[in-house]
Amino acid sequence: MPTRCRARDLGIAPGNLLPGPLNAITDVPGVRVGQVTVREGDRVRTGVTAILTHDGNIFQEKAPAGLAVLNGFGKLAGSTQVLELGEIETPILLTNTLAVGRAIEAINRWTLSRPGNERVTSVNAVVGETNDSRLNDIRAGFPTVEQMVTAIETAAPGPVAEGSVGAGTGTVAFGVKGGIGTSSRKLPGKQGGYMIGVLVQSNYGGDLRIDGQLFKDLQRPEADTDGSIMIIVATDAPLSDRNLRRLAERAFAGLARTGSALSNGSGDYALAFSTVGAVRRTAERRAEASSVLDLPNDRMSPLFQAVIEATEEAILNSLFMAETTSGFDAGRQAPSRVEALSLHQFRR
């Protein structure tokens, strides 16, 4: 058996709904993910993860979106326009706290270069972050703008790398190595057959629970409660931005199931979008009143269940797939090492 594996490979499968074929956010048609992992010398352990809402011109065909904030100790660029207009017009980048400005520049550069955007003069870049300074020399200027553009340009459908990769390269959760994780759920046909996909960047604390059971084997010198998480939710259900906000809010139930402390120093953000063409904000639909497909409120509950289950499993995958990492603690100005979650007892 490989050293690291996903939660479901060890029989840990939260909830009742079945995952999609990849058990990943890319099970939602049109979603693409790209990642660049940056490891430089003994000090730099960081990266970037890009999520593209569909394979067309994202700026010209804006995806409806909803944002939920549980604790706002973070820097989610572009959030006010998402709240105001209920749409996303760029790739979503996840990275480290001090790289948000460079990520905005990367999104601007890429968006302005797309065919059809020659007259664009304003871009609302969406960038999420967590602070990876316990393992990364966060002041060193990585990832670069160029590395972030590469993550966007190489984004693809298919399997998504998890653990200590991309924006999760230097993250820590529950005192062990955190990272990137993903999962999906497919509703039964009688409930619409819609797909929900979730991708997380885990970097927070609390008392870890795995499928409802308190995990007591963590060897931590002190309580580990602060930190942040970014939760990205995709669906092919035809939802309004209002119901996408409601969907994003339910992702926090999945976060809570893992034992999150939801502390004062945490940034807990969930961003949900729909990929289906029937609800995209095309130029024609933005020009005048138009009819848009919209799933009613009474059909939302199965989607709520799906996003809770997928969020919980995505977080577990981020921990199960992460590897022990040595780096540099920028706050203490000293070398550091964070162990991966031990999977020994699950194999046993």
The residues that are catalytic are 228, 266, 268
Cα(30)–Cα(348) distance, integer angstroms: 39
Nearest CA to 142 among 206, 98, 88, 179?
Answer: 98
Beta strand ranges found along the chain (DSSP E):
32-40, 44-52, 63-72, 87-88, 92-96, 126-130, 172-173, 176-177, 179-186, 195-203, 209-210, 213-214, 227-235, 266-274, 325-329, 334-338
Asked if residue 309 lies in contact with residue 247, where contact means CB atoms within 8 angstroms, the answer is no
Report the alpha-carbon distance of residue 143 to residue 194 in Å, rounded.
35
Let me know how long the chain is: 348
User: Six-digit token pair at 20?
Assistant: 């999609």
Q: What distance in Å separates the CA atoms of residue 132 and residue 150, rounded to the nearest whole number? A: 21
Give one word for 116, left, alpha or beta, with left for phi > 0 and alpha for psi -120 to 50. left
> In a 10 Å sphere around its CB, with 0-12 CB exposed, 13-18 middle and 19+ buried, how is residue 262 labelled?
middle
Distance CA 198, CA 172 (A): 19
Within 220-290, strands assigned E span 227-235, 266-274
Q: Is 261 exposed, middle or buried, given 0-12, 13-18 or 19+ CB atoms closer than 10 A?
A: middle
Which SS3 state, helix, strand or coil, does residue 325 take?
A: strand
Distance CA 56, CA 30 (A): 9
Location of structure tokens 């931590």: 220
Cis peptide bond upstream of 335, omega within 30: no
Start-to-end C-alpha separation, the chain = 12
